[in-house]
Structure 1
Amino acid sequence: MMNSVTDSKTAIEVRDLRSALEFLRSIPGEVVTTDVEVDPNAELSGVYRKVGAGGTCQRPTRKGPAMIFNRVKGFEGFRVAIGLMSTRQRVGHLLGCAPERLGFLLKDSVRNPIQPVIVGPEKAQCQEVVHYATDPDFDLRTLLPAPTNTPEDAGPYITMGMCYASDIETGESDITIHRLCVQSKDELSMWLTPGRHIDAFRMKAEAAGKPLPISISIGVDPAIEIAACFEPPTTPLGFDELSIAGALRGRPVELAPCLTIRERAIAHAEVVIEGELLPNVRVREDQNTNTGKAMPEFPGYTGEAKEALPVIKVRAVTHRRNPILQTTVGPSEEHVNMAGIPTEASILDMVGRAMPGRLQNVFAHSSGGGKFLAVMQFRKASPVDEGRQRQAALLAFSSFPELKHVILVDEDVDIFDTDDVLWAMQTRYQGDVSTVFIPGVRCHPLDPSQTPEFSPSIPQPGVSCKTIFDCTVPFHLKAHFERSKFMEVDVSRFLPDFA
């Protein structure tokens, strides 16, 4: 039965990565493939930067199709897929929703969760082939074609791993995506941004002197990947984001018990890494390269290698036959969509509950990687609404703590058209009266401008001055700011093929 949250044949057709790719192949221009052998060491990501990465990547780049590399140097039998969600339009196709309504779809899905279910071995497609870490020839570096995004990277990275773990006391589970660097034949380093739920599980297990079992599912239904990017307060500790993916598809996500640890993995995943986060064990992220660099991150810069990261000891790798490893480029538009659309949903939900009918839509803008900048379309219906637009911006900062800037615009501005947003800033904004500064607030640690060296108002790295740019017209002046009205015409009379 179709879930009321989405009304599209996509909800039926897409069940895993393979069906998602098959669905996209039915839409012209959404997927390209190559049989030319590619080196996963920097070359693969270098190719996709020009084909379709977009986002905050170094120019030249563009929004383009997803891409499948059928031959990967040194990894016979593996294919690599990249950029599945690197355009908002493609996310709309995959979730059966108009691109501009995706935030609303995700908001409704949070409110209508469908919990995951556990299935038996007969449905565990992810375990068709099994490699145990105890096997003498087991080596992550030769088993999985994890790309190195640039020549400076600390090593090969798993960038699209759905990390699933559970609280050792309550049994509550969480799924998130983290930076995972291959450190040795059976070890991964894991960078956990402060506040993530799996880090809370890890710290509790470590305090008890216990390892934390963790599964990493790679290559899954895109609905799971985007649901995994929700953050508190929308999804508080104990909220399993897999239930959001269930709501998006109108059916529960299927989990399979792991073979070597007491945890579950996504049954239809292309690849699963089973392991344990070891207590009181740390590793320097760039121990194998000594570059001081980690990998390209969503702001468009290469992150600094961390001095002491938790370690995952790998117990096994399982995968489907003829597996597809899914990856992404950190600063790409794919990150914008995965992180940004849940951000939009969180803002729509909180502001909508506080002041129904006023916030028309939100766009977590590409320039902020889906995290730093939100453009909010606000409707003032009466004189008493003046000032409420700024209250809405304050609520947005509360609903997504990593948000740095908010641009407020009126309902006649297209928030998805940057030219239109900047037009509003040029004609409806005066810096001295339209700007609100909120200094000394914690933001996201990957913003390189958040240092005392950059601004004397910043006491320590990671603290920022959050800013509201109010580009809305004061209500009493609305009549003076009406846009020129053109005649409505049927262009197809003149250009039959015009779309």
Structure 2
Amino acid sequence: MYEFEADIARGADSGAAGQQHGPLTMRSWLRHLADTGRLACVDVPVSLEHQLAAIAKRLDGRQAAFFSRPGAHQIPVVSGFMSRRAWLAEAMGVPEAALLSRFSDAVDNPLPVAELGPGEAACQQVVHRREDGNLDLHRLLPIPTHSEHDNGPYITAGLVIARNPRTGIQNVSINRIQVHGPDRMAILMLPRHLHAFYQAAEEAGDALPVAVVIGVDPLTMLASQAITPIDRDELEIAGALHGSGLRATKCLTNGVVVPADAEIVIEGRILPGVREPEGPFGEFPKYYSAREPREVIAVDAVTHRRNPIFHTIVPAEMEHLLLGAIPREATLLSHLRRSHPGVQDVHLSVGGVCRYHLYVKFSKKREGEAKNVILCAFGAHYDLKQVTVVDTDVDVHDPAEVEWAVATRFQADRDLVVVPGAQGSVLDPSTTVAASQAGMEAPPHLQGISAKMGIDATRPVTYDSHVFTRVRIPGEDAVHLESLLANSGAPSWQAYLGQEA
């Protein structure tokens, strides 16, 4: 029996997430999910090509999936352990309504990592080095091929950690990584902090040392997606979410600091001046990105726990979407409130792939304020494509409520804001339509150019009589259906019909 499965059988480390013995790790979180019926163990052989991802997708949002026999590998694969907002709030130890405020507090109050000494980190219990001649990622790790047209196996849940070559301060991100060969991987870097680090190294003719960390707890995964200034180490935000400095250790072949309780660490260098084809790959907008030249990671070592667990994220499903949504929502909420204190809540909708469509709950005091909120949101993150502002009586987490507000409080000639020619997401396929229709490929400086749309779905500050008063039934929120319907015996309508002659 595999070590983790044995722990499940023994009920090891059971109890609520907030009552863990020792630090929260991926293993302790999985044990908690298992103890509460939220971990499905798939113990039959499963193909790494498509089948594993298909099963995980079917379970998405209901149970995490633990595959004990993926392909020909002894290392199991897990997926989907962060696929509900309520689960992430549970990992933080807060109600779901406090999820964003707890995350924001951690961003504002980071804690330095607690660095362990040599030989103390679980993630370095087993070491495979390039010079030993046994470094083969395909042989060592069960890396799945997810979607139908993906160009091979991808690491989708790896934290990519690198240091700023100029300041030494780290950045943590999640990037898709295609495994090309035994010790070679292609990585997609969007124009954010990791890419800036790489550009600085490449300009100096240097490789950028990196670590790809696989198998960390939900809070560390969430922290990696925080929207922060360039020189903020997201591992310190993870520590704040945990309530104490994150246990960390230095890599064996470079100076990058990684979570000590991780399952697997791939150590390497992003090579200067080297590009290799990567893609296509099914991305979060639920479309494929093109095959293009990408930067290349040369792998120097792989370290891992004894009996490690490989984590994969099924692209475009809830684990993927929520990882992007919650940190962005927290940052957007804080940003909007600084200029507009009337903002009460925000939500990145699932229909907008948790990136592009933002709903804002706002207490409007003056006409025109909602449009300012829209423009402020667009300035906060370039991925946003559509912002809808609603009143405080609308639940922004319910798409039907938001659509109702648009249907009854919005007029396009008065309440629509359009911003053409703005920077958008390069992964949004509609941003390249104009260039492709013209029969040409958009040059790099025009890729991701997007129009933004804002919808002011707020009612007027003053209005006559009950024109904009919502229809409600007094006492509807106080009705306890369970007590009214409990122990009712035979349905009363049957008894009533039985009175007929």
TM-score, with length taken from structure 1: 0.88
Alpha-carbon distance between aligned partners in 2 of 1:410 and 1:490, rounded to the nearest angstrom: 25
What's 1:484 paired with?
Answer: 471
1:335–1:370 Cα contact (<8 Å) kept: no
| Cα-to-partner distance string for 1:386-445 (whole Å, 9 max, x where unaligned) | 221221121111222211111111111111111111111111112222211011000110
What's 1:254 paired with?
Answer: 247
1:165–1:175 Cα contact (<8 Å) kept: yes
Where does structure 2 lack aligned partners over 5 or more consecutive residues?
A: 1-15, 488-501
Alpha-carbon distance between aligned partners in 2 of 1:304 and 1:434, rounded to the nearest angstrom: 36
Deviation of the 1:355 alpha carbon: 2.2
Which one of 456, 460, 470 corresponds to residue 470 of structure 1?
A: 456
Which one of 377, 385, 392 corresponds to residue 396 of structure 1?
A: 377
Structure 2 residue 366 is the aligned partner of structure 1 residue 379: no
What's 1:290 paired with?
Answer: none
What's 1:32 paired with?
Answer: 40
Which one of 179, 198, 203 corresponds to residue 202 of structure 1?
A: 198
Structure 2 residue 51 is the aligned partner of structure 1 residue 43: yes
Alpha-carbon distance between aligned partners in 2 of 1:119 and 1:262, rounded to the nearest angstrom: 14
| SS at structure 2 position matched to 1:449 | helix
2:18–2:92 Cα contact (<8 Å) kept: no
What's 1:80 paired with?
Answer: 77
Structure 2 residue 187 is the aligned partner of structure 1 residue 190: yes
Distance change (3 Å), C-alpha of 1:227 and 1:254: same
What's 1:57 paired with?
Answer: none
Alpha-carbon distance between aligned partners in 2 of 1:470 and 1:66, rounded to the nearest angstrom: 38
Deviation of the 1:477 alpha carbon: 2.4
Which one of 6, 13, 26 corresponds to residue 17 of structure 1?
A: 26
Alpha-carbon distance between aligned partners in 1 of 2:223 and 2:196, rounded to the nearest angstrom: 19
Aligned length: 462
What's 1:227 paired with?
Answer: 223
Which one of 284, 287, 304 corresponds to residue 298 of structure 1?
A: 284
| SS at structure 2 position matched to 1:406 | strand
Where does structure 1 lack aligned partners over 5 or more consecutive residues?
A: 1-6, 53-62, 286-292
Q: 157-166 vs 479-488, which deviates more? A: 479-488
Deviation of the 1:241 alpha carbon: 1.3
Indicate the structure (1 or 2) with the bigger Cα radius of gyration: 2
Structure 2 residue 395 is the aligned partner of structure 1 residue 414: yes
| SS at structure 1 position matched to 2:196 | helix
What's 1:159 paired with?
Answer: 156
One-letter identity of the residue aligned with 2:62 = G
2:421–2:450 Cα contact (<8 Å) kept: yes
TM-score, with length taken from structure 2: 0.88
| Cα-to-partner distance string for 1:220-246 (whole Å, 9 max, x where unaligned) | 011111111123xxx111011112111
Alpha-carbon distance between aligned partners in 2 of 1:12 and 1:374, rounded to the nearest angstrom: 38
Deviation of the 1:496 alpha carbon: 5.4
Distance change (3 Å), C-alpha of 1:13 and 1:336: farther
Deviation of the 1:323 alpha carbon: 0.9
| Cα-to-partner distance string for 1:339-392 (whole Å, 9 max, x where unaligned) | 111111111111111122x11100111122221011111112x3x3x2212211
What's 1:95 paired with?
Answer: 92
Q: 239-248 vs 470-479, which deviates more? A: 470-479
Deviation of the 1:64 alpha carbon: 2.1
Alpha-carbon distance between aligned partners in 2 of 1:407 and 1:14, rounded to the nearest angstrom: 40
What's 1:236 paired with?
Answer: 229
Alpha-carbon distance between aligned partners in 1 of 2:379 and 2:247, rounded to the nearest angstrom: 33
Distance change (3 Å), C-alpha of 1:204 and 1:112: same
What's 2:274 paired with?
Answer: 281
Alpha-carbon distance between aligned partners in 1 of 2:328 and 2:272, rounded to the nearest angstrom: 32
Deviation of the 1:8 alpha carbon: 7.5
Distance change (3 Å), C-alpha of 1:374 and 1:91: same
What's 2:343 paired with?
Answer: 359
Question: Higher relative CO (CA 8 A, sep ≥ 6), structure 1 or 2?
Answer: 1
1:275–1:315 Cα contact (<8 Å) kept: yes
Distance change (3 Å), C-alpha of 1:455 and 1:378: farther
2:82–2:319 Cα contact (<8 Å) kept: yes
Structure 2 residue 408 is the aligned partner of structure 1 residue 427: yes
1:10–1:94 Cα contact (<8 Å) kept: no
| Cα-to-partner distance string for 1:108-135 (whole Å, 9 max, x where unaligned) | 2111111223111343100111111223
Deviation of the 1:253 alpha carbon: 1.2
Which one of 421, 429, 450 corresponds to residue 440 of structure 1?
A: 421
Distance change (3 Å), C-alpha of 1:455 and 1:398: farther
Alpha-carbon distance between aligned partners in 1 of 2:130 and 2:328, rounded to the nearest angstrom: 38
What's 1:334 paired with?
Answer: 319
What's 1:310 paired with?
Answer: 295
Distance change (3 Å), C-alpha of 1:375 and 1:271: same
| SS at structure 1 position matched to 2:29 | helix
Alpha-carbon distance between aligned partners in 2 of 1:400 and 1:106, rounded to the nearest angstrom: 18
Structure 2 residue 121 is the aligned partner of structure 1 residue 124: yes
One-letter identity of the residue aligned with 2:474 = M
What's 1:368 paired with?
Answer: 352
Structure 2 residue 173 is the aligned partner of structure 1 residue 176: yes
What's 1:264 paired with?
Answer: 257
Deviation of the 1:254 alpha carbon: 1.7
Deviation of the 1:15 alpha carbon: 1.6
Q: Percent identity?
A: 36
Alpha-carbon distance between aligned partners in 2 of 1:408 and 1:185, rounded to the nearest angstrom: 50
1:10–1:95 Cα contact (<8 Å) kept: no
| Cα-to-partner distance string for 1:2-58 (whole Å, 9 max, x where unaligned) | xxxxx9826876621001111222334x22111011111111111222221xxxxxx
Alpha-carbon distance between aligned partners in 2 of 1:230 and 1:136, rounded to the nearest angstrom: 38
What's 2:6 paired with?
Answer: none
Distance change (3 Å), C-alpha of 1:14 and 1:477: farther
Alpha-carbon distance between aligned partners in 1 of 2:422 and 2:21, rounded to the nearest angstrom: 44
What's 2:330 paired with?
Answer: 345
| SS at structure 2 position matched to 1:169 | coil
| SS at structure 1 position matched to 2:143 | coil
One-letter identity of the residue aligned with 2:299 = V
Alpha-carbon distance between aligned partners in 1 of 2:331 and 2:126, rounded to the nearest angstrom: 39
